[in-house]
Amino acid sequence: MRFVDEFRDADKARALSAKITALCEPGREYKFMEVCGGHTHTIYKHGLEDYLPESVQLVHGPGCPVCVIPMGRIDDAIHIARQPGVLMTSFGDMMRVPGSGGNFFDSNAEGTNIRMVYSPLDSLKIARQNPDLRVVFMAIGFETTTPSTAMTLLRAAAEGLENFSVFANHVTIIPAIKAILDSPDLRLDGFIGPGHVSTVIGCRPYEFIARDYGKPVVVAGFEPLDILQSIYMLMVQLSERRSEVENQYSRVVPWDGNQVALKAINEVMELRPFFEWRGLGFITHSAMRVREKYAAFDAERIFEVPGVRVADPKACQCGEVLKGVLKPWECKVFGTACTPETPIGTCMVSPEGACAAYYNFGRFSRKRVREASSALIRPEVGGHGLQPDRSQEPVSAVADVGSVAKGTA
């Protein structure tokens, strides 16, 4: 398929792998964080870790919007859904995210009316068709999805749909990255910048990372060669002792972002003083709320949301995974009590979550096998023993990239 195959070319993947290896300095380790959950998904799906040199490590960041929502916000949403005459809508990923008393499906079994939609405009349509119901859209996501919520709210205001409101849970990526940079738990050499978020905010907001922290940033696309090229670009910067923001995804991401989308966000939304993130705690100015001007469409004001704070289950280590401190398989319940079918934590719910991506695609990673072998253990993941270490064989991930491109995998 044109415009896809070009970014899954096996020969080019091998060439990039060799170039990355050639830039590695003896005795040095490199740690790069891919902030976006979509990148994590691609890395595991195409086995990209398996043909990076041992000294180059990828750390998974908090770029999955479903994963960073704390349990208390799920409880708040269910509180709204239990109010008389309320029909709540949200994206499909949110339906299985556990709160302290269960998820949205469990809540529906107890009598609430929470429906899955593909767009906030679907919620608006439901509100038009059901004037006797109070329709609440649970809005989640980074800056990628915030414009669609803002435009929907503007349309509701223009139409005077008084039975429609938004329960806003939109978060912003820059404060989260700063919180990670300020954390003593993690040493990073650079960032693979999020592609989808950057289509809205552009590349300029990341400049403080290079300027103030001396870490290079490369905004990357989502195909295998996109990610490999972004890693190569980071390695080049480090080898040249540079720290800059570069745009690998220039075919999609404008340097200054989408001004129309940003204008809509600024019209409807404003920054919260602080917001709780799963794993990162409370971060100042890290989420959006509906402006006072549009208070009639703000579910938090209409329903007096209690603002519940709920600790994660003790066995769940999603917080450490989201901070990049733990790999998914290092969580105590990964693949046993916690699976995509029976998730305990949010990282196993969304396809963009690091745990779900690793469970579905990465459990037989050769790099994972080598790490296990070096620790003198042979872990069982989800009831399946990992395959023997075949690190001396040609890396199959390169062939896999090519086979996917040809439609044979």
Q: Are residues 18 and 109 in the same domain?
A: yes
Taking alpha carbons only, the member of 289, 68, 270, 288 closest to residue 179 is: 68
Q: pTM for the whole thing?
A: 0.85
pLDDT given at position 377? 32
pLDDT tens figures, 143-165? 999 999 999 999 999 999 999 99
pLDDT tens figures, 15-35? 999 999 999 999 999 999 999
Q: Are residues 121 and 234 in the same domain?
A: yes
> 376 or 99: which carries more pLDDT confidence?
99
Q: Are residues 325 and 397 in the same domain?
A: yes
CA dist list (Å): 261 to 182, 223, 257, 269, 304 = 30, 25, 9, 12, 29
Q: Are residues 245 and 390 in the same domain?
A: no
pLDDT tens figures, 311-369? 888 888 988 898 888 989 999 999 999 998 888 888 998 888 999 999 988 765 555 55
Cβ contacts of residue 138 below 8 Å, gap of 6+? 77, 88, 89, 90, 94, 167, 169
CA distance 24 to 26: 6
* Per-residue pLDDT at 4 exceeds 80: no
Q: Which of 282, 314, 346 is the last residue of a domain?
A: 314
pLDDT tens figures, 82-140? 999 999 999 999 999 999 999 999 999 999 999 999 999 999 999 999 999 999 999 99
> For 311, phi and psi rounded to 5 degrees?
-75, 145
Q: Are residues 213 and 272 in the same domain?
A: yes
Give the helix/strand (H/E) hosting 88.
strand 86-90
CA dist list (Å): 151 to 35, 91, 145, 381 = 26, 17, 10, 44
CA dist list (Å): 142 to 74, 199, 223 = 17, 12, 21
Strands 86-90 and 114-116: parallel
Structure token pair of residue 211:
């300027």
Q: Are residues 8 and 137 in the same domain?
A: yes
Question: 102: alpha, beta or left, given left = phi > 0 and alpha = psi -120 to 50?
Answer: left
Q: Which of 314, 342, 358 is the last residue of a domain?
A: 314
Q: Are residues 4 and 123 in the same domain?
A: yes
Range of the domain at 347: 318-405
CA distance 328 to 317: 9
Q: Are residues 128 and 270 in the same domain?
A: yes
CA distance 406 to 226: 18
Q: Are residues 284 and 337 in the same domain?
A: no
Alpha-helix runs per DSSP H in 46-119: 71-81, 104-109
Number of folded domains that form the chain: 2
Q: Which of 314, 347, 370 is the last residue of a domain?
A: 314
Q: Are residues 226 and 368 in the same domain?
A: no
Q: Are residues 358 and 307 in the same domain?
A: no
* Per-residue pLDDT at 381 exceeds 70: no
Band (1; pLDDT cuts 50, 70, 90):
low
CATH number at residue 289: 3.40.50.11740
Rounded percentage of the chain residues whose pLDDT exceeds 90: 69
> 75 or 407: which carries more pLDDT confidence?
75
pLDDT given at position 365? 56
7-19: average pLDDT: 90
Cβ contacts of residue 98 below 8 Å, gap of 6+? 71, 74, 343, 344, 345, 346, 349
Q: Are residues 212 and 305 in the same domain?
A: yes
**For 174-293, where are the E strands, in sequence order?**
190-193, 217-219, 245-247, 269-271, 274-277, 281-284, 288-290
**For 242-346, where are the E strands, in sequence order?**
245-247, 269-271, 274-277, 281-284, 288-290
DSSP character string of 366-398:
HHHHHHHHHTT---EETTEEPPPP-TTSPPHHH
One-letter amino acid for residue 194 of the chain:
P
How many residues are there in the chain? Answer: 409
